[in-house]
Structure 1
């Protein structure tokens, strides 16, 4: 299978969003009297009301994939929302409940959700209000084996817009979560595809796709000179709040993986500005002295597996061990370009748990990811 080189997958400094409802500009355009108004801070009373609406909406969304949502006959959507948004959410929540039933079949699913909404800036422009918010959600697992993670966790930034009703209250108009090229369990849309930048250097290099079938025996972790415990400890420490010693990219998954590999003993190769595009080099430095292989998913693949041989291809996805890396070219139409990188932070005899940035996720079950994204192409690395 021919491969193409990309620089930007999981490394482009662009905030990606799934918009639900009209964009703020469109909402303002529908209200000429408010369009000209400058953004002003929202009152404490109004801010409290927006947070209440947002918190209810995020709890309803998280519940869709749990035992609560998957057993409902009809989805529960926020009543304090524009009619068009309620209709779209009803469709999406129905899809998520179906996925919740698929998770139940694959791994037991999720028993319940715990959601914390932390508000940021809140502004108003006429009859439109905008609220920045961080969602921290835990999706709890059933029948947790001793020593295994008890929940999948994710942290996600949101930009929510609201419109003033005729009665003077507020209603939710749109939600723009910062999803990027990653995948978040409580969102149905396919992750964004990474941008590509072809380079003849590795254009025709074949890659090994991992089978999704469960083997009878699992491959043990191979001994090497790297410290896998430190790799996992790094991922567990910085999955939610990035390490301030490094830049954070809009799509940050491979930057995060490189940091974990470095913490476990990977040594930089190169360092010259002229080496940035060279897939045989791997290094971090002041902007722009950082290699594409450090933060670009496809480029990292070529450095790690093809040129440096620091990783070996696993022909079965279930052979992954702790600190191994899984990469994905998302479906439903994989385009021969790796979009996303994840690290294994825990495992049991029957499960692997994945951690990644964009959107920041900790200890997600591999079986649940496969139940949601069976059409992706996966590339498994033994580190």
Structure 2
């Protein structure tokens, strides 16, 4: 019985939230929340403000909700509900229409309230913001990606091979897997860099220095638990240094995101402290030639590159715009 009551409550709440995504006003959601400090009351207005700044009009929103897990604590009269929220926006962009989609994962804590229910806490998965101790140790151990002799040998080999970067294959891969996980690779709790690495490798970006985790950029398929990979394949700040610091690919940092192409990479430093903890891959552009990106952790489809409506974004956020070469 509690399951049915909770499902009805959760569905009603997310219908109300869908309307808030459309209007930009979450005030009517207060009736579902005990705490008005929930991040959703910041994110919805931020998203609406971002659309206005882009001269975009939100024409339609739709939300699908799946209850992933449910637990009822009889003693505490507390329900813990894991929910996956898939939201899609349809925008009017001048004479054109654009769509965007994201998948949020929430853990709701819900208690009885005046004959109904009320959310007392909502924990939402967000883009990686802080490094774990292990990640810090990894990054502190990294050199510049290899000796000069190793770098020159790699470049010599690739001048012969002439790997062309297939940007359309990057886009196709990013569009196919943005909302799910390729079973051929390990799934990470913070999956943004793993996803970006898969995308650019799908475009025939060659792996480098396979076998040494602290050098190069590579993933080794060993069969499930026996898979192995470099730190730069899965750690955001390590990929940033691989792209910008080791000379293998000649990735170029540009100042204006409008200089980027499909298949290029944007790195995010939310706190402006020099540690980059999120990466995205470019899959399209709006009518003003501003990048739209796909990403994981919070699975995002054709999201505006700035991320100003992200829970992780701060006024100190810094970006790096990496233009990958057309030939390796």
Matched, 1:329 2:285: no
Higher relative contact order (CA 8 A, sep 6+): 1
Residue equivalent to 1:380: 321
Distance 1:202 1:377, change over 3 A: farther
Q: Which has the higher strand share?
A: 2
Candidates 58, 61, 73, aligned match of 1:125: 73
Candidates 51, 74, 77, aligned match of 1:103: 51
| TM-score, normalised via structure 2 length | 0.79
Shift of 1:296: 0.9
Matched, 1:320 2:260: yes
Q: Is the 8 A contact 1:271 1:289 kept in 2?
A: no
Matched, 1:171 2:118: yes
- State the alpha-carbon separation in 1 of the partners of residues 188 and 56 from structure 2: 34
Shift of 1:344: 0.7
- State the alpha-carbon separation in 1 of the partners of residues 196 and 292 from structure 2: 15
Deviates more, 1:127-136 or 1:172-181: 172-181
Deviates more, 1:243-252 or 1:98-107: 98-107
- State the alpha-carbon separation in 2 of the partners of residues 378 and 252 from structure 1: 19
Q: Is the 8 A contact 1:321 1:382 kept in 2?
A: yes
- State the alpha-carbon separation in 1 of the partners of residues 233 and 24 from structure 2: 40
Residue equivalent to 2:276: 338
Matched, 1:284 2:220: yes
Residue equivalent to 1:27: none
- State the alpha-carbon separation in 2 of the partners of residues 226 and 130 from structure 1: 46
- Map Cα deviations across residues 273-324 of structure 1 (whole Å, 9 max, x no partner): xx1122x343334446211011111111222232212522112222121111
Distance 1:340 1:94, change over 3 A: closer
Q: Is the 8 A contact 1:103 1:368 kept in 2?
A: no
Shift of 1:75: 1.4
| TM-score, normalised via structure 1 length | 0.69
Candidates 252, 272, 284, aligned match of 2:191: 252
Residue equivalent to 1:140: 90
Secondary structure of 2:92's counterpart equals: coil
- Which ranges of structure 2 fall in alignment gaps of 5 or more residues? 146-161
Deviates more, 1:102-111 or 1:236-245: 102-111
- State the alpha-carbon separation in 1 of the partners of residues 235 and 197 from structure 2: 10
- Which ranges of structure 1 fall in alignment gaps of 5 or more residues? 1-42, 182-191, 204-222
Distance 1:137 1:377, change over 3 A: same
Candidates 264, 277, 285, aligned match of 1:347: 285
Distance 1:62 1:193, change over 3 A: farther
Residue equivalent to 2:109: 161
Shift of 1:48: 2.7
- Map Cα deviations across residues 346-371 of structure 1 (whole Å, 9 max, x no partner): 12441321110010000012366489
Residue equivalent to 1:79: 31
Residue equivalent to 1:311: 251
CA RMSD of aligned residues (A): 2.8
- Map Cα deviations across residues 318-353 of structure 1 (whole Å, 9 max, x no partner): 21211111111013xx11111110011112441321
Provide the aligned length of Structure 1 versus Structure 2.
294
Secondary structure of 1:76's counterpart equals: helix
